[in-house]
Amino acid sequence: MHIADEATSHPDIPGQVEGYWFRSETEIPASKPAYNPTGAVLPAGRLEDNVDCLDLVDIDGVWYPLSESGVHTYAHSGSLSYGQPYFFAPVSTWGTLYKASLGSMEEPAQIGARFPSGAIQRARPDRKVVVLHLSRVR
């Protein structure tokens, strides 16, 4: 089975946390939106108070680690690259909120030691991978 075939049959990366990106805390509704999640993260370990995560993006229904070449393609990562705040609200624990900041850009081989194995299989081999830092706000 090719990676593309595997990704299509298993669109999620084990351990990922789906959620919604918001520009400010005031935009976040009391209940989770009815539309599909706007993002996902893959924590290094568990999603806790302060944690590094891979930024995952949905491409044709399949989640992939965001590479450095795609940072300015998405509103949240583009804003983070300019030092502007963005917030991540996980679907599974609605009401919990994390403030995101842009962390490091790491070679795909480096992420294999820190993040679940499914991430390295989906990362672009020719570009660095975006690592975010999430800090729990509430």
pTM: 0.91
Q: Is the dihedral of CA 116, 45, 112, 8 positive or negative?
A: positive
Structural domain of 114: 3-136
Statement: residue 114 has pLDDT above 60: yes
What span, in angstroms and rounded, lies between the C-alpha atoms of 13 and 7? 9
The pLDDT, as a whole number, for residue 117 is 84
For residue 41, give the nearest of 7, 18, 70 by alpha carbon: 18
Confidence label for 8 from pLDDT (cuts 50, 70 and 90): low
Structural domains in the chain (count): 1
The pLDDT, as a whole number, for residue 9 is 66
Averaged pLDDT, 86-98: 97
46-85 confidence digits (pLDDT tens): 899 999 999 999 999 999 999 999 999 999 999 999 999 9
Q: What is the DSSP track for 64-94?
A: EEPBGGGGGGSHHHHHHHTT--EEEEESTTB
Statement: residue 137 has pLDDT above 60: yes
Mean pLDDT of the chain: 92
